[in-house]
Homo-oligomer: A and B are copies of this chain.
Amino acid sequence: MGSVTTPKQDRSRATRQRLLESAVTCLAEHGWTGSTVTVVAEHAGVSRGAAQHHFPTREDLFTAAVEYVAEERSAELRALDGERGTHAAVDALVGLYTGPLFRAALQLWVAASNEPQLRPRVTDLEARIGRETHRMALRLLGADETRPGVRETVQGLLDMARGLGLANLLTDDSARRARVVTQWATILDDVLR
């Protein structure tokens, strides 16, 4: 009975989890329209019917995936806590915008700009993550938001990080990014203090 583990439930949750992870991966690799339910299911190692069992329609699957991406990004953000030093902070923040999670999020933004039903969900979650990121940035940088200009400076930094992530979409931009990060870390050191 239910006293011990319920393997059926476990397996079900596992496949559901695998499907969501697969959706994120496929989003980053094949884009929005390239991430067909067949592709996602095959990548997850489950049949299409199984995917359809958990998420009756494609929209159901990807609305869940959008929330999943948001949670993962939030977790990745919280994992940054503890970084000290301006350069390390900037590097860590910029690092948020490279990697598969940001790639998936980027695909979702662009898709949401065209798909009306996707737009509100993405904008809401993005606004929430944006606020979280801003708070964490202030914390890592040890910045005092009450001082005039600090808020806009940090926002600009995060916008720069987004832009660097975007530049990294098509070509490996690591080398240039590192130089920009060190330069702006020193600039911020002067501005914020």
On whether A31 and B162 interact (CB within 8 A), knowing A155-B176, A191-B187, the answer reads: no
Q: A38 contacts the other chain (Cβ, under 8 Å)?
A: no
Query: Is residue A49 contacting chain B, with contact meaning CB distance below 8 A?
Result: no
User: B residues within 8 A CB of A171?
Assistant: 123
A34 with B114, Cβ < 8 A, contacts A119-B170, A180-B156 known? yes
* Cβ-defined contact, A110 with B184, below 8 A: no
Is A101 an interface residue, CB under 8 A from the partner?
no
A22 on the interface (CB 8 Å rule)? no
Tell me, in angstroms, the Cα distance from A162 to B169 when the chains sit together.
Answer: 13
Is A83 part of the binding interface, using a Cβ–Cβ cutoff of 8 Å? no
The one of B156, B159, B180 in contact with A152, judged by C-beta atoms closer than 8 angstroms, is B180
Interface size range of chain A in the complex = 35 or more
A167 CA / B111 CA spacing, docked (Å): 14
Given A31-B110, A114-B34, A159-B180, A122–B170 Cβ distance below 8 Å?
yes
Asked if A113 contacts B31 (CB within 8 A), the reply is yes
CB distance from A62 to the nearest CB of B (A): 15
Cα–Cα, bound, A62→B37 (Å): 27
- Per-residue CB proximity of A170-187 to B under 8 Å, as 1/0? 110000100110111011
Complex Cα–Cα for A102 and B107 (A): 16
Report chain B residues within 8 Å CB of A103. Answer: 113
On whether the beta carbons of B111 and A31 are closer than 8 Å, the reply is yes
CA distance A157 to B153 in the complex (A): 12
Q: Is the CB of B123 within 8 A of A170?
A: yes
Complex interface: chain B residues within 8 A of A183 (CB): 149, 152-153, 156
**Closest 3 A/B residue pairs (Cβ):** A162-B163, A163-B163, A159-B163
